[in-house]
A and B are shown apart, each in its own frame.
Chain A
């Protein structure tokens, strides 16, 4: 058997139609699953983690059959997996590659760092304005506190 074929077989089973999210940091894979709410869909989902990656050392990969995510949905993972690659597959071919971009405003995902913020004390979904993408600075529109990348705490 061809060596190349063996590698492919082990790492990524071919998807006929759907979305492949590749190059997810291995320690963020299950967070991505959660943010995209994959546990709630009935489509066939294949998850691989701690796979060998030349670039990242180890990585995670998610394949969702017959589901084509909107950019808006996928962008929700920008905070935790900004370098993930999105491939849209149709009839075993990559028909579209997408890059992830952090939106200007988003809901959920992150916990406000201020313990006295209303979002940490009331049953409600926090939301943020992205003040700067690089370096990352978010602003909670409720308590007006700015949150830097090194302070990020995921919900």
Chain B
């Protein structure tokens, strides 16, 4: 394996959203819809899934483990590197090889970038990347896509407003990479220090995708949106804390800002949120972030069953 593209059937692992073509993404979304209407099935009966969380992430781990349990599979693993042998100095290679003796599939989160790709090279069982540092978290992207399709009835020709940390936010980068197949229009709303990186704007231009950049988060932009994707602005991302103080309260969504928004608008957020969505938005029917998280269950059921060749 030398390139980044892999044949879907002979490469069942999911490490990066770029591993999926448009058709493959649509196939997973279709499978996920099937699991949503029937989430309790026995198709993983007799299978063992390992959830290896070298870095804790309770939300993601519970979502994966629920997905496996509801499909009749069994789970082994650890939720923190402190309880694994990596604290004794075991290499990732050895941990993956050892666990491959026991499990049919590995779901892993690691603090190092590229850990999941490397894992696919040391084992023959499928690897699902549940986050590798700041790099990729493809099941999050697939659940974002599923949420968009479910709430809008389509993926094509949507106006998508992305707000907050667009420089370091891996969720917005991956979502952009997934939506590039569906003729979107993007609005990037971010402070100067956290603008969408050039490589992603280049991808928009190469795919004839219009995009607009603005550092003001205004109701006029929200009025045009079908999807409003909010992200958290993290203090540690700023070299100049004066800048942080200036912008920290600028990119906050309040309920009154949604007064003139379209009926089909839905607000997404990868969670956890801090203060970027005011609590008065939660009761607005356009707030979708909690349902969005639930959709992760069906999407992960689809991805795991698909990786094991069971659907």
A residues contacting B by CB (< 8 A) are: 104-105, 114, 116-119, 121-124, 127, 129, 139-146
Contact = CB atoms under 8 A, between A and B. Distances in A.
A140 to B, nearest CB: 7
Interface in B1-56: 2-4, 16
Nearest to A106: B2
B2 A105 contact: yes
Given A117-B113, A122-B91, A144 B16 contact: yes
Contacts of A121: 112
B118 A124 contact: yes
Interface stretch (B133-141, B143-151, B269-277, B296-304): B133-141
Interface string B73-105: 000000000000000000111000000000000
Nearest to B3: A129
A144 to B, nearest CB: 6
Contact of A142 (B2, B3, B111, B117): B117
Which of under 10, 10 to 19, 20 to 34, or 35 or more describes the interface residues of B? 20 to 34
Interface in B175-213: 199
Nearest to B114: A142
A143 B113 contact: yes
A89 B229 CA distance: 65
24 contacts: A104-B2, A105-B2, A105-B3, A118-B92, A118-B110, A118-B112, A118-B117, A118-B132, A121-B112, A122-B91, A122-B92, A122-B93, A122-B112, A123-B91, A127-B2, A129-B2, A129-B4, A140-B114, A142-B115, A142-B118, A144-B16, A144-B113, A144-B114, A144-B135
Main secondary structure, interface of B, reads: loop
A41 B111 CA distance: 41
B3 A118 contact: no
Interface string B133-176: 11110000000000000000000000000000000000000000
Contacts of A141: 3-4, 114, 117
Given A141-B4, A141-B117, 19 more contacts: A105-B2, A105-B3, A116-B113, A116-B133, A118-B112, A118-B113, A118-B114, A118-B118, A122-B118, A123-B91, A124-B93, A129-B2, A129-B4, A142-B118, A143-B114, A143-B135, A144-B16, A144-B113, A144-B114
A58 B221 CA distance: 61
A132 B97 CA distance: 35
Contact of B112 (A117, A123, A146): A117
A116 B131 CA distance: 13
Nearest to A123: B91
A88 to B, nearest CB: 28
A105 B1 CA distance: 10
